[in-house]
Amino acid sequence: MRKLLPSLFLCVWLTVAGGCQKKVETDYSGLNNAGMWSSNLAELKALKVSDAEIAQLTKLKQAGASDDLCLSLLKAARAHHHDFASAESAMSLSRAGYADSEILEMAQTDQIDILAGEAVTLKLIGLTNPTVQTIMHRRIQGSPTATSEQIGRMKNTGMTEKQILEFVGKGYSDQQVETFIAEREAVRNHSNTGFVRVRGRRR
């Protein structure tokens, strides 16, 4: 009987310890409260999303993102073998007026966090949507393209949107772009320094 007691206590301890180590279930209540459909929640559960991803997706839903966009962005991140962590980038793009399809295109190339700042700035510069789309497609494809800061400087030298787009389309290197802008800025600055003679009254 005495020999059986240690074994009995060991079994009881293992049972209790196993119960204490029971995995805590992921909390989907935030997404549910934000309005995500139950069928889409079931799909997320099947994808075994992490708590951090749930937090990211909840931010998106609370900002007004559709279920389709949330799921598509998650799957795009998973396709590149990492968790989804780009809610802020997606939200800033949406606020700047980018369509879901344009946001997803950036995510599918795994460049959404890299391109978001540039994309938003291009909108703030005041370029039209077709021009912005052309420039962003060049960026997504990895083609040589002037930065949003350089494009803003071009516009400040008096270049029209058509001229900017034609220049960007030529695929100049960053150094060539800088040289071109510097020359235009020098001409602009020089034209603003002309001496104007002020005539006084004759006595």
Give me 182's structure tokens: 């510097």
If asked whether residues 124 and 148 sit together in one domain, one would say: no
Cβ-proximal residues to 132 (8 Å cutoff; 6+ apart), any chain:
119, 122, 123
Instruction: Report how many domains make up the chain.
Output: 2
Give the pLDDT of residue 173: 95
One digit per residue, the tens of pLDDT, for the chain of length 203 reads 455 445 544 444 444 445 445 556 788 898 999 999 999 999 999 999 999 999 999 999 999 999 999 999 999 999 999 999 999 999 999 999 999 999 999 999 999 999 999 999 999 999 999 999 999 999 999 999 999 999 999 999 999 999 999 999 999 999 999 999 999 999 999 886 655 454 555 54
Domain final residue, candidates 81, 98, 128? 128
In a domain, 123, yes or no: yes
Distance separating alpha carbons of residues 4 and 114, to the nearest angstrom: 65
Q: Is 110 within 8 Å of 81 (Cβ atoms)?
A: no
If asked whether residues 89 and 58 sit together in one domain, one would say: yes
Range of the domain at 166: 144-190
If asked whether residues 123 and 149 sit together in one domain, one would say: no
Phi-psi region of 197 (alpha: psi -120 to 50; beta: other; left: phi over 0): beta
If asked whether residues 66 and 112 sit together in one domain, one would say: yes
| φ, ψ of residue 22 in degrees (nearest 5) | -60, 135
